Structure 1
């Protein structure tokens, strides 16, 4: 016999765990079947066969403040080794 036969709460925990994992697995399968596969069959194949422009990660990355349009940066911290004069505040 299993331990769960002697300890009902243990069986309850495994039941909750089982149903939680079943719902998570069902969600993953549904997302894969209804979102990922259609994405591959439309956008992915179009890009593969050259019907759309190739993906450029530079277009979607968050631009730094000084790269944004309409932003004027008054001060920019210098690059390189900077000596900190205020290292300890007592």
Structure 2
């Protein structure tokens, strides 16, 4: 049994090498993004907002506006009746 398993060793070696290279690249990318993007972003916009240099974040600014708030005229904003359904709940 050991002889059969050991015959696959070069394949295992190759797949561990591929796994190591992929994990190395992913780890290197994470380190690069953390020091190249996350920390500079925190040091600029985060601290600028913390010290009051910008206006504080207001979730209302990015809220999806309703049609009347966008300035559109809504004709059927107050419908009357029960719609296309009868009393049994189907067409």
Separation of aligned partners in 2, 1:46 and 1:65 = 32
Of 11, 14, 17, which aligns to 1:15? 17
Partner of 2:89: 85
Separation of aligned partners in 2, 1:5 and 1:27 = 35
Separation of aligned partners in 1, 2:10 and 2:39 = 42
Please report the TM-score for the alignment, with normalisation by the length of structure 2.
0.63
Separation of aligned partners in 1, 2:16 and 2:60 = 47
Please report the TM-score for the alignment, with normalisation by the length of structure 1.
0.64
User: Contact 1:66–1:73 (CA<8 Å) still a contact in 2?
Assistant: yes
Cα deviation digits, residues 36-60 of structure 1 (max 9, x gap): 1111111111111111111122323
Separation of aligned partners in 2, 1:84 and 1:19 = 64
More helix by share: 2
Please report the RMSD computed on the Cα atoms of aligned residues, expressed in angstroms. Answer: 3.1
Whichever of the two has the greater Rg, that structure is: 2
Per the alignment, in what secondary structure is the counterpart of residue 44 of structure 1?
helix
Quick one: structure 1 residues 5 and 45, their matched pair in 2 at CA, closer, same or farther if it must change by over 3 Å? farther
Q: Name structure 1 gaps, 5 residues minimum.
A: none
